[in-house]
Structure 1
Amino acid sequence: MERKHEMAKKNQYELIENSVIDDGAFLLEPYDDWKENIAFWIAQYLSQKCDEQSRRFVTEDNIPKITSIKEAILNSKDIEAIGKYVNELGVLKFKAIKQYYNNIYPFYHYMLERKAYSIKNITTTLLANYFSNTEEKQKKDLAAGKIIKVDIPKNIKNIWELSYASKVNRLTVLLNFIKFIENSNIDKESENEVFLFDIERSKISKSIQKEKRVLSVLTPKDGFQKFFNAIELVQYKDEVRERNILMLKLLMYLGIRVSELVYLKKDDITIDKNIVKFNIIGKGNKQRLLYVTYSHIKKHMIKYEKIRTESPDGFYFTTNKGKQVNDRYINTIVHNTLVAAQIEVTKKSSVHMLRHSVASYLKHTLKMDNASISKWLGHEDIRTTMIYLHYTEQEIIDMAKSFKKIGN
């Protein structure tokens, strides 16, 4: 792999030299083959995203490898090859890039089917048709010869198989990608030398039909309390008992994502008198501080830290071999706790369900407003919890204190 990446590094500048017009600007369509043009822009876009991503969870040994893979991506003219490089980044704990690739790649296939063989064919209409496409319409268009058959890898879902939230996320990534091209291109055929896509998000958004669904949550009135009370009823081996209880209670008190829990580091935790401060690193490397009254979790922290195996990467929750606890295991202990609480287990009874449950508890039991909940959960998009405001550290501590000690 190292030799392959070194070859890519050697040829990289020859490839990009033919495309660069000005510092940071590239020919819109530098190649005759439109597939190579799409691959070129995806490579440039992913390269920028690599530079923006945090290397917090990357070991020092892997940084040169990531740099080498990034250069290989820049040198690639093939979108499939780029996907393989993106997977290699994931193995090195540099996973955020994959979400960008996985949201652009299916749209590339849609363009292939529609014979939209130019970047300039990316229009509001094309995007709206893509997001409103259905399995029935796809079959009709194929039978009528309006589209060509393109085999999509089995691990890639069709657009009609995605949830509403996943479609909105895909649209956001695609529009961000298009904006990147718009800000970085030189079009020799255009009078102003820059090709503008003139995409209207509002029209595309209307094509994404909202689904009627009921979120799986623990009812604020009694389900939340029943689950909390059952946390210590589950039978665990002595070496994992306090760790598992502490993980579940932090998920309940903090409402954090499972990824935020498993990537929590020992250095992220500070105890100040009767307050435990948690430095949470969320999506997009966004940082927020959350707090728990120390007495709520003190006995579990003390017992866990007495038997805790140190992690070479500094992770707080570890196995007895010092490895990072994975999210699949946490889903398992959530399932076991639901059973112990005699709460019905469904396909949606995952660890993420606890996050929705915390939001519901904050809203309906503690009567927090939407802005407070948004800050607490670390939502970036205003549409997620309607309002997003800034709070002082003391205001967030006050929120933590208002989160009464459940379970007693």
Structure 2
Amino acid sequence: MSEIRNTTNKYKDFAYSDDITKLLTVELSNKDKKKLHITYSNYYNLGVSRGYEYIIEDIFKLSEIHKLTTSQLSLIYDTGVRNIQIWLKELGLNRSIKKAKKINKKNFHTDIEFNSDKNSNSNNLTLINKFGIEILESKNLPQSLSSFLDYLETIKGKSPNTIKAYEIDLSLFFKFLKVYKGLVTDTDLEFEEIDIKDINNDFIRNIKLTDIYAFLSFSEKQRGNGTYARARKVAALKSYFKYLQGKAKIIDENPTFDLESPKISKRHPIYLTLDESINLLSSLDKKSKNYHRDYCILTLFLNCGMRLSELCGIRLDKIKGDTLTIIGKGNKERTVYLNDACLKAIENYLKFRDDSKALPEDKEYLLLSSRFKPINKRTVELLVKKHITNSGLENEKYTPHKLRHTAATLLYKHGNVDIRSLQSILGHENISTTQIYTHVDEEILREAANSNPLSKL
């Protein structure tokens, strides 16, 4: 397989269309100049060379001043949306999901059209479609892959996170294949810049199981993917080729039919004991301005076994008495029953919750950050880590997901909750996922061992 260089001179003396050039003539305010200075600092702090080095100021103007979306930028610079996202993240220009949605929504209703020069040939690209229909080619994906992702969303009802994960894995697969089969000749090209739009049905029909094995080997040895990451890639490939054979009727033979998923060794879940859980809750500093909020978060984790995303998405109008309706994995709605401890924690928090500076749409969420925004997952991860350390446990393995394990373990071990009920409480689609908690009653195993008639010899 040929070597792919990490840098490119593709954007040195990059030729823009007249429309884009007009956008780049904008004058920067002092505030914008300070932001641009920070942007350059972020680049230099990377300590590595990037191909977009020559167009940093242009990227800043287009993304920060003109608020162009990542899809629009990908068309201008003839690269994938994922690559643009990486650029913006490295430069500190990445947007929150909420902000990105607002930009997309706003730009959807404009009729701006401008050109993007590629190899000195000006192609008129309509970056905004005034009819609100996303043009398939703008995704920079093979048509069959775009159709598959649409199928996952509209027919299978998969969550945005799942769809994005499949898109990333399958795009990586096609980029690998183009290199593996010797179809990439530009040695100045970055791996993320490999164009896969031209992959057609004939190319797909010629994919063999051996090609997939080579990709999985590449994922493990070159990209450092562990068992779980490779298993996810296998799942994405099997689902994609199943769709191509059964729904799209593009292939007659499915190359993943005999493909096995990497064996994942089942490990006991890491969890807090009952005493450790009580100690954690009692260790919070009552003088802290966020005491009632953080106590509420930990109480909900330890009693309800919610996922992190589920907790951050709790809305006030979904709390009815002792029931809470949440949207779980796969966009599935389920009901969580709140015990007295949860109801009391929520009530106490709402007495002290300051939403005076929150936007009306943000006030609808139960948990707010210090910036009066719905609390995000990273904030919760950090506060859980802080309180775990302060409680004396000092175990980096205790994440919000481990608190979910704790709730499940306490319910099964001390609450005598049967496995089927536990499956429903946790929102597991498959009961085999829930069965990892059946190991936890060590006392029964200890008594069984001691009951051996030879144990007293």
Normalising by structure 2, we get a TM-score of: 0.55
Amino acid at match of 2:402: M
Letter of the structure 1 residue corresponding to residue 216 of structure 2: F
List aligned pairs for 1:48-127, cutoff 5 A. Answer: 48-51=151-154, 97-115=163-181, 118-127=203-212
Distance in 2 between the 1:384 and 1:204 partners? 22
Unaligned runs of 5+ in 2: 1-67, 69-106, 114-124, 184-202, 437-457
Which residue is equivalent to 2:366? Answer: 316
The structure-2 alpha-carbon separation of the partners of 1:129 and 1:343, relative to structure 1 and needing over 3 Å to count, comes to same
Give me the whole-angstrom Cα distance separating, in 2, the residues matched to 1:126 and 1:258: 37
Q: CA deviation at 1:259?
A: 0.3
Give CA deviations for 1:294-334 in whole Å, capped at 9, x if unaligned. x3234432222123226514211112543111112212222
Q: Which residue of 2 aligns with 1:178?
A: 241
* Partners of 1:123 and 1:197 within 8 A in 2: no
Q: Which moved more, 1:126-135 or 1:255-264?
A: 126-135
Task: Give yes or no for contact 2:241–2:256 (8 Å, CA) kept in 1.
Answer: no
Which deviations, in whole Å up to 9, do the C-alpha atoms of 1:63-107 show, x marking residues without a partner? xxxxxxxxxxxxxxxxxxxxxxxxxxxxxxx65542221221222
Instruction: Name the residue aligned to 1:40.
Output: 143
The 8 Å contact of residues 319 and 325 in structure 1, kept in 2 or not, is answered as: yes
- Equivalent of residue 169 in structure 1, options 232, 252, 265: 232
Within-5 A mapping of 1:199-214: 199-201=255-257, 203-205=258-260, 208-211=262-265
Structure 1 residues 212 and 260: alpha-carbon distance in aligned structure 2, compared to 1, 3 A threshold: closer
The 1:6–1:242 alpha-carbon spacing in structure 2 relative to 1, beyond 3 Å, is farther
Kept in 2, the 8 Å contact 1:122–1:197? The answer is no
Counterpart-to-counterpart distance in 2, 1:379 and 1:234: 31
| 1:45/1:177 contact within 8 Å kept | yes
Aligned equivalent of 1:380: 429
Aligned length: 291
8 A contact 2:220–2:230 mirrored in 1: no
TM-score, scaled to structure 1? 0.61
What is the distance in 2 between the residues matched to 1:47 and 1:304?
41
CA distance in 2, matches of 1:185, 1:134: 27
Indicate the residue corresponding to 1:148 in structure 2.
Answer: none
In 2, distance between residues paired with 1:355 and 1:129?
A: 37
Alignment partner of 1:197 out of 245, 253, 268: 253
In structure 2, C-alpha distance between the alignment counterparts of 1:14 and 1:385, rounded to whole Å: 40
Deviation per CA, 1:212-240: give whole Å up to 9, x if none. 7564322xxxx343233322322265542
Deviations 1:173-226 (A, max 9, x none): 22222223234546xxxxxxx52232455x4225x14357564322xxxx3432
* Aligned pair partner of 2:412 in 363, 368, 389: 363
Residue 265 of structure 1 deviates from its aligned partner by: 0.7
C-alpha RMSD over aligned residues: 3.7
Letter in 2 for 1:268: K
Report the counterpart of residue 329 of structure 1 in structure 2: 379
Tell me, yes or no, if the aligned pair for 2:284 and 2:295 is still in contact at 8 Å. Answer: no
Corresponding residue for residue 328 of structure 2: 282
* Higher normalized contact order (CA 8 Å, seq sep 6+, divided by chain length): 1
Q: Letter of the aligned partner of 2:281 in structure 1?
A: I
* Structure with bigger gyration radius: 2
Q: Is residue 420–residue 431 contact of structure 2 (8 Å, CA) maintained in 1? A: no
Percentage of pairs with the same residue:
24
Q: Is the 8 A contact 2:316 2:365 kept in 1?
A: yes
5+ long unaligned stretches in structure 1:
20-34, 57-93, 139-157, 187-193, 388-408
Q: Which runs of 4+ in 1 moved over 6 A?
A: 10-16, 53-56
CA shift for structure 1 position 244: 1.0
**Amino acid in structure 2 at the alignment position of 1:253:** N
Alignment counterpart, residue 216 of structure 1, candidates 270, 284, 291: 270
Q: Is the 8 A contact 2:237 2:256 kept in 1?
A: no
| Whole-angstrom distance in 2 between the partners of 1:13 and 1:280 | 30
AA paired with 1:178? F
Q: Structure 1's 215 and 116: CA in aligned 2 closer, same or farther, altered over 3 A? A: farther
Q: State how far apart, in whole Å, the 1-side matches of 2:410 and 2:209 are.
A: 40
Could you tell me how far apart the structure 2 residues matched to 1:14 and 1:384 are?
37
Q: Which amino acid aligns with 1:112?
A: K
In 2, the alpha carbon distance for the partners of 1:377 and 1:212 equals 18
